[in-house]
Copies of this chain bind each other. A is one copy, B any other.
Amino acid sequence: MRLKFPKLIPREERFFDMFTELAGLAVEAATELTKLVNDIENASRLARTIKDIEHRADDITHGIIDNLNRSFVTPIERGDIHAMACALDEVIDYIEVAGHKISLYELDGVRQEVVVIAELILASTKTVEKAVRSLRRFPDVKPHLLEINRLEEEADHICRNALANLLNNETDAVTIIKWKEIIEILEGATDRCEDVANIVDGVIVKNA
């Protein structure tokens, strides 16, 4: 019976590779988002690039779930694999929606705080990628998780102030409505990165 394992385990290890691939796409999407907020003229084109990345992420997510359904042995709990794939997919979804909204809504330039938040999202996705890459070696993961939490808190702080600034100083109500929605979606993207960190944290605890 034990002879089976050398064959099974490598196959199941693929989950880690697929997570890393998904996290890599999150970094790609966030990179395009930072380009987009700095180059609003080309927002439509860049939003389409992010949409393509999101489609590739969807395929990988479905691939992970298909693999999960066919696997007898999994390296971490099935529920955690499912949750991790969905959470990584959600990070990319939020980035896609934000980019698409910025391209769809007719806006005069980009608010400075939005550029800052986009950079925090990029930093957060890069740290998520590092955390996912080091999932096999627990002691290396923890500092990345702390950094994701720190970035989420920073983004939360900046978003709250950006909204207050928008609501207290912008006079055009329609402009307020547009940017308020976009800022809230961007904040959601960093919350989704934190979701990934929480799932990883749970995995570490159970396997420590």
Name which of A5-13, A128-136, A169-177 contacts chain B. Answer: A169-177
CA distance A106 to B69 in the complex (A): 50
* A177 interface neighbour in B101, B104, B173, Cβ under 8 Å: B173
Nearest CB of B to A152, in Å:
13
Within the oligomer, what is the number of copies of this chain?
Answer: 3
Nearest chain-B residue to A66 (Cβ)?
B205
The one of B104, B164, B177, B205 that contacts A105, using a Cβ cutoff of 8 Å: B164
Check if A112 is an interface residue, CB within 8 A of chain B. no
Q: Is the CB of A177 within 8 A of B178?
A: no
Whether A105 contacts B168 by the Cβ 8 Å rule is yes
Contact indicator A174/B167 (Cβ below 8 Å): yes
Within 8 Å CB of A126, what residues of B? none
Chain B residues whose C-beta falls within 8 Å of the C-beta of A167 in the assembled complex: 105, 174, 177-178
Whole-angstrom distance between the Cβ of A159 and the nearest chain B Cβ: 11
Bound-state CA distance A133–B69 (Å) is 24
- Measured CB to CB, the nearest residue on chain B to A70 is B205
| Cβ–Cβ < 8 Å partners of A35 in chain B | none
* A56 on the B face (CB < 8 A): no
Q: Could you tell me the distance between the alpha carbons of A208 and B69 in the complex, rounded to whole angstroms?
A: 10
In the complex, which residues of chain B have a beta carbon less than 8 angstroms from the beta carbon of A160? 100-101, 104
- 0/1 interface trace, chain A 73-112, chain B, CB 8 Å (1 if under): 0000000000000000000000000001100111000000
Q: How far is the CA of A180 from the CA of B100 in the complex (A)?
A: 17
- The minimal Cβ–Cβ distance linking A74 to chain B, given in whole angstroms, is 14
* CB <8 Å contact, A164 and B104: yes
Given known contacts A104-B164, A105-B168, A171-B174, what 5 new A-B pairs fall within 8 Å (CB)?
A101-B164, A106-B168, A167-B178, A173-B173, A177-B180
The interface of chain A, by Cβ under 8 A from chain B, is 69, 100-101, 104-106, 160-161, 164, 167-168, 171, 173-174, 176-178, 180, 205, 208
What are 6 inter-chain pairs, A to B, with CB distance below 8 A?
A100-B160, A105-B164, A105-B168, A167-B177, A173-B174, A176-B177
